[in-house]
A and B are shown apart, each in its own frame.
Chain A
Amino acid sequence: MPINYYLFLSLALFSIGMVGVLTRRNAIIIFMCIELMLNAVNLLLVAFSKMHHLKNLATSATAGTDGQLFVFFIMVVAAAEVSVGLAIIVMMYRNIHSVDIQFLNRLKH
């Protein structure tokens, strides 16, 4: 398949995630949308990695592997971010019994 298909698919997923972050009000759903954005990037990196691998196979047998490696790092960082983020959401839930981010507007005087 041409690389464009992958590019459009992951850009579409990324945009869905982005629109979700900007429009939804539930902190957990915003969180899921951010994960969607990160996974769209993972998909794109894997696709590009395969593309560069096939293109540069003649010069180097390991061409394109760094893209796949990057994906693992994104997964690790996303997991770390999830653990901290959920802790923050739980902390907020304990205090106000809601995960609605409408609450955030209170900071603006």
Chain B
Amino acid sequence: MNLLLLAAAWGVLMMFLSVSGISRATIRTIAQVGMGLLFLSTVAELQGIVFYDLNAPAMLGVDRYALVMLSVLSGCGLLYFLLSAKDMADVGSDYSEYFALIFFIFCGFVLVLSFTSLLMLFLGIEIVTIPLYILTGADKRNLKSNEASLKYFLLGAFSTGIMLMGIALVYGARGSFSTLELVGASGIPTQLLLGGLFLIFFSLAFKVSVAPFHFWTPDVYDGAPTVFTSFMATLVKVAAFAGFLRLFDHGFGSLKSSWQIWAGILAVLTLIIGNMTAVYQQSVKRMLAYSSIAQAGFMMLGVYGLGDAAKEGMILYGASYSLATIGMFAVLTRMQDQTVEGFNGLAKQQPWISALLAVFLLSLAGIPLTAGFLAKFYMLQAALPATYGMAVVIVAVIMAAVSVYYYFRVLQAIYFREPSEGVSFPAFAPGFVRILTVIALLIILLGLQPGWLLRYLYF
């Protein structure tokens, strides 16, 4: 649990730096160093080096799954900071606070990934979402940002209320919040327990934006400042899904006959709605928002399938999806025209950036040799043994083919269109290009050798 302490301490440090009057460049460096330490300390814990052990097994219990997921999240967080920390300065004047909030969100990630009590799940989700409401509204003068933050806040608080009601009902049925005692020895659930289970299930589906509870996602992702959309759509969503899987695998796993079919239905609905609407988007930012819903459909297959295969899939999917989307958003933030046409003819002027973007888009679409392909493969493999698994997998494969259309439209604009008059592409700093190259290499490496990451799950 190195990450928990370090992230909290660094969050407080960043908060105090905002009144110290030091320059933005220094603040940025301190934040990047902090995120690097977060990553290193999690990797160290994976190797058995623990600086700080919170001995509270009734509340938090770190297992390999949580640790690998946290390493993926903090690693992607580090790359995100290296790529996009500069762009945060354009959002508003509270530069240091943005970093502080992101470090606090990482504390929430630890709770969401290692809870053994529903209390910690609730606290973790709140610690993740409350700073997000602020980050969404960070662009205070921009009406779209205001709207997005209010909408996110009202719907988020509403779904929290529903989750709490679910937890209360489960508590009434079982007399305990521990995830180990959620289901009795007899395995026959009472009405109270089932009611609670479904309320928790639907509210978590709401948090991870699975259809039909996805309607807030495109507006919020579109309205939020693009740097923060990148963070919300990747790390936060992956962490929420990992917690979702953890609860329904460890906690409610033995009751799956009653809820598994619903997970399947939501997954299919999400895949269809997310992909079909993404096809019609003109703005790349909105397209990525819908594509994040579509990708959520694939991650939902993990919750549907359960077991070790789903955990492997979730980790690989989290890594590949986060890497590719963070890269896409980092380039998108710097584009002048954020529609598909804005990318016209990029390859003629910036061939290397275009090649990197191509890797990201191919990975999102799930083309072999990229991590996206294997991630989708693992998810389908996890879903196959479930009841009606075959039907769900067939829908997922068809929808993956649909997704190729809208990802390739951007690719086509980059490579096969002439640049429009008067549009100039930004110059990318060499450091920025280097980090993007690292991300693309990681995607290809994971696509060739997923065991490189997944072996940490077992030893």
Contacts and interface: CB of A to CB of B under 8 A. Distances in A.
A77 B123 contact: yes
B149 A88 contact: yes
B451 interface: no
A1 interface: no
Contacts of B168: 10, 41, 44-45, 48
A88 B153 contact: yes
A66 B164 contact: no
A67 B171 contact: yes
Contacts of A70: 119, 167, 171, 177
Interface string B151-166: 1011001101110110
A84 B153 CA distance: 9
B177 A66 contact: yes
Contacts of A97: none
Contact of A85 (B126, B153, B162, B222): B153
Contacts of B143: 95-96, 106
A75 B171 CA distance: 18
Given A66-B176, A66-B177, A37 B165 contact: yes
Contacts of A41: 161, 164-165, 167-168
Nearest to A64: B175
A11 to B, nearest CB: 8
B158 A34 contact: yes
A91 interface: yes
Contact of A106 (B123, B147, B158): B147
Contact of A38 (B137, B148, B154, B161): B161
Nearest to B154: A30
Nearest to B132: A84
Interface string B12-41: 000000000000000000000000000000
A73 interface: yes
B165 A56 contact: no
22 contacts: A21-B154, A37-B158, A37-B162, A37-B165, A44-B165, A44-B172, A45-B168, A45-B171, A52-B175, A63-B175, A70-B177, A74-B164, A77-B122, A77-B123, A84-B133, A85-B154, A88-B137, A88-B150, A91-B146, A106-B143, A106-B147, A107-B144
A41 B143 CA distance: 34
A52 B141 CA distance: 51
A81 B177 contact: no
Interface of A: 3, 7, 10, 14, 17-18, 21, 27, 30-31, 34, 37-38, 40-41, 44-45, 48, 51-52, 55-56, 63-64, 66-67, 69-70, 73-74, 77, 80-81, 84-85, 87-89, 91-92, 95-96, 101, 103-104, 106-108
Contacts, number: 119
A38 B42 CA distance: 35
B146 A92 contact: yes
A101 B150 CA distance: 9
Given A73-B122, A91-B146, A107-B151, 11 more contacts: A27-B150, A37-B164, A40-B165, A41-B165, A48-B171, A70-B177, A74-B122, A74-B164, A77-B123, A88-B149, A107-B219
| Most chain A beta-carbon contacts within 10 A, residue among B123, B140, B146, B148 | B146
B134 interface: yes
B275 to A, nearest CB: 20
Nearest to B170: A48
A21 B157 CA distance: 10
Contacts of A21: 154, 158
A87 B153 CA distance: 11
What's the interface size class on B, roughly?
Answer: 35 or more
Given A17-B161, A44-B172, A45-B168, A104 B222 contact: no
B44 interface: no
A68 B45 CA distance: 34
B433 interface: no
B164 A38 contact: yes
Nearest to A99: B150
A104 B151 contact: yes
Return the 6 tightest CB-CB contacts between A and B, nearest first.
A37-B161, A48-B172, A52-B175, A41-B164, A107-B219, A44-B168
| Most chain A beta-carbon contacts within 10 A, residue among B130, B144, B223 | B130
B163 to A, nearest CB: 9
Interface in B198-240: 219, 222-223
A89 B177 CA distance: 34
Given A45-B168, A91-B140, A34 B157 contact: yes
| Most chain A beta-carbon contacts within 10 A, residue among B148, B160, B162 | B160
A3 B175 CA distance: 14
A30 B154 CA distance: 8
Contacts of B141: 95
B114 to A, nearest CB: 17
B46 to A, nearest CB: 30
